[in-house]
């Protein structure tokens, strides 16, 4: 059930090379997307520790977006995206065990030239989290 007054807090962990550059392009292109996301630049999605995501939820995030290089094969560090895929799959299983909907974590491959895709993903994710409602940790 969607709550019109609820504005979700989204943390975005964005790869320096692509995800963050795509977000920057969305900004300089003046593309509109919800202001619900706080972005954090990371060197590579492969360096994202699951603890960072859990801490984001513990500190009040309703959703976490992870954005890396365009495809898993295009990682600037060769295997970073594959490492991220494995970690996020395990994280989603852990979240289920903790009673947290695993759809509160989303991973996307966004190139530095895809500012429009970044804006669209943020819009979609904010709407999806709105439908879920606020995260209530036990």
The answer to whether residue 1 is domain-embedded is no
Q: How many domains does the chain have?
A: 1
pLDDT higher than 90, residue 77:
no
The answer to whether residue 27 is domain-embedded is yes
CATH number of domain containing 47: 3.40.50
Q: What is the pLDDT of residues 13-33, one digit of tens each?
A: 999 999 999 999 999 999 999
Cα–chain center distance at 5: 22
Q: What is the pLDDT of residue 36?
A: 98
Q: What is the pLDDT of residues 38-59, one digit of tens each?
A: 999 999 999 999 999 999 999 9
pTM confidence score: 0.95
CA distance 42 to 58: 20
Q: What is the pLDDT of residues 84-123, one digit of tens each?
A: 999 999 999 999 999 999 999 999 999 999 999 999 999 9
């Amino acid at each position: 059930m969607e709550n019109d007054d609820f504005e979700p807090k989204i943390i975005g962990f964005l790869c320096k090379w692509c995800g963050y550059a795509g977000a920057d392009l969305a900004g300089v292109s003046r593309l509109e997307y919800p202001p619900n996301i706080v972005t954090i630049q990371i060197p590579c999605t492969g360096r994202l520790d699951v603890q960072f995501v859990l801490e984001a939820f513990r500190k009040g995030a309703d959703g976490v977006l992870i954005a890396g290089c365009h495809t898993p094969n295009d990682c600037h560090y060769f295997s970073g995206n594959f490492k991220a895929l494995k970690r996020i799959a395990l994280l989603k299983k852990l979240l289920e065990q903790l009673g947290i909907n695993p759809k509160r974590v989303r991973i996307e491959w966004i190139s530095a030239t895809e500012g429009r895709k970044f804006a669209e993903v943020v819009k979609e994710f904010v709407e999806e989290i709105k439908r879920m409602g606020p995260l209530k940790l036990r």
